[in-house]
Structures are given as C-alpha cells and as structure tokens.
Structure 1
Amino acid sequence: MVLLSSYFSEPLPPSIDSLLNQREKVRQRFPPSHRSPWRMSRRAVLFSTGDTALACFYRIYQFIVVDWNVALRNELEYFCIMNPDWAVADLPDPADTQDPARYAVLAGITYLLCEAFNRRIELGLPRDAPPIVEDWEELARRPKVLERVPAWAQRVPPLENVLRIPNSKGRYVEEGGPEVCEPFRKLNILMHQPHIHFV
C-alpha cells in the first residue's frame, strides 16, 4: 500500500527508461482511484493534506511516459479544476542537469498543459468554473486568463539525438505521422500525442 505522504515528496521522478521498463510498477505505485473515473474523495484528501503543483506535475510525467490515459486525464482534471491557483507558468524549474531526456519531456509537458487548459478557457470554462455551470453568461463575462509555458521550459534545448518513446502497446510513432506529439517533436522526442483534452 502506498502512503499518501509519498505523493508529497518532490525529488525528480524516475528516468524514462526506468518507467518504460517497469510500467506495471508505475500502476501499482498509485491508488486505485487513478485507475477509475475521477473521484472527488481522493482529490479532497490530497488537497487537504498538502499536495503541490510540482508533485502533480511529476505524476503527469509518469502517466504520459507509460501511456496511462485514464490516470493522465484524472490528474489533468485535478491540476486544472481542483487547483486553479496552480499556474502552469509558476511550475518551478526542475533543473534536471543529470538527465537531458527527462528534462526535455518535462518541458514538453508544460506545453501540453497549456494546450489542454487553454482549450477549456477558450471554450468559456475558466479554471475556477464551478463543477455544474448554472450561469453561462456570468462565465462569458469573465476575462479569459490563458496559461503560459514557464520561462525555464522555453529554454530547454532539443535533444541532440532523437528519443523515441513507445506507447503502452510498444508501438512507435513515425516522424511526420498524424499521431506525433508536436510539442515533443520540437524537442526531438517522437511519441504519440497523449490524450490531454477533457472537455
């Protein structure tokens, strides 16, 4: 059983190779609520016990690398909706000098967060929108405050050599293919576009 306190330590997460070689261990490391539809009870517990944006960001990284779509979507919703004060631009720089590949993936994820959250915002759903919208006109009157990529992520250079990350079925995406993740491609990483939209 995983202690909740393990969610709140924020050392750098495992390397990409380590995650890919132990996909099932990643799934076992997180409670069952990551494998089922989004549960407010789990979120309330985490929120009340001191979860952080960086810890959540590192969970998103793990779910993206191992291609665990249900957990990824749940974590994106948690970051976006339950914690509207967690600005993407304020994510601290992991300063990952030991592992350029992991650093590049982390940088690429900030672009995906902005893409996912800004799509909702452009559709009229600010991050602090109520779970059940009763007054769409009031939401429409609010200024659209879009998320921004952190400055550190914009400075992360592309990898010298192409990094190919397979999906959960062990398949690789081809460069120029319709399924390639564009923010990662710009960092010289080829992987399938993760399922980041949850509207």
Structure 2
Amino acid sequence: MLTKQQNDSLLEKFKKTQTFKYFYSTLLRFDESLNCFVATEKWRDKEAELLTAAWWMFAEVTENQVVYKGFEQAYSEIFSPIIKQPYPRLENSDYKYIEIDQGWKLWQAAKAIPEGFVLVPVKEIKEWYLDDSENIYREDPYWLCDVPIGEVLEVEHRVSYELDQDPVFAAIQWDEVNGDIGYYETFKSKEEAEKVAAHCKAMKESQESSHAN
C-alpha cells in the first residue's frame, strides 16, 4: 500500500505518459478521495473510466515493481546469490528459482503478520527431499541425477528453518536434598550459571574436607 506522498509522486509520473495525454482533457479531473478520474460533463464519463482504468493498472504495476525491487535488494544483501537482479520470474509471477521464491513468500507473509504475532530471525533454511528407496528425507538429492532423460519425477519436498537464538549456559547444580552432586541445568544468563557452579563446587569441597577429617 502506497503512502499519499508516494501515490502523488506516482500520479505525476502517470501524467507524463502517452496514455494520459491521449485520454485527458480539461473536462476531466482527479478525485483523490476516490483515487480515480471523474468527468465534469456527462458525455466525458467514458474517457474518465478509461483513464481511471489506465491509472489503476499503471499504479498496480509500478507498486509491484517497487515491492519486488525491495525484496530482491534485501535478499541479495542477506544471501549474496550469484544470480543478478532482477531475478527471473515465471508467467505466474513466482520466482524461477525455488530458494528465491521461498524467500519471496516469506517476505510477503511478513507483510501480513496478524496483531499479536512477531517474526523470529531465521539463521538457515534447509531443503529436504524424500528418498523413496529408504523412505527418509535427505538434504542432498543425489539420486535425482538418475532421472531418465525426457521424464519427470515427483519428489516429496520439505523445508526446515533453523532459528537464530541466544546461547544458554550449562552448569552442574548441587542436589540439596541428597547432599551430593546433582544434574546439569541450563540458564539464560552466564552470571546465574556461574553462581550455581560456584555453589556446587563449594559444597563439594566442603563435603570432601569433612570426609578427610
């Protein structure tokens, strides 16, 4: 969705096109509230409709180009693909290469996140292919090299996402109930883990000292 400033800028560009010059007359004006052209005389209604249709198509195509360009720039900065921009797309507007198309679909989903939800950063995206011979998914579909020339093989496909998360800190804790070394525990902060580790060490040394006496 374009802002008013972007829409106004786009309208000025549209007014410089041959399409606008062909249909426009002083009997037509642009209605900002309706985002369309209207005629000041009834007999000019048809020209207003045609000019509005051309304007909407111009705006839609331009807006899509802006969105695609923004995505491709972001994708290029993150993944540095060897493919140069603009990335090739199919007739249905999907990207030709599946990795880029998956990134595009994630980009679109991010633009429509419902209220109350948040995005989490993805560290790595992995693709998995079902090896029917062993009924397991593999990251390297090496067997696809054996697909007969001229034939198409349908392959079940999965995608996994590795989330980029902060590290945790592990330490052995002291079992207060049994008075002995307990199991490990993980903590979000290093400081908290160090306190538990120091307490366990101190209790163990105290126990060994008392046994020695």
Could you state the TM-score of these two structures normalised by the residue count of structure 2? 0.22
Could you state the TM-score of these two structures normalised by the residue count of structure 1? 0.23
Q: Which has the higher contact order (CA 8 A, sep 6+)?
A: 1
- The answer to which structure has the higher strand fraction is 2
Q: Which has the larger radius of gyration?
A: 2
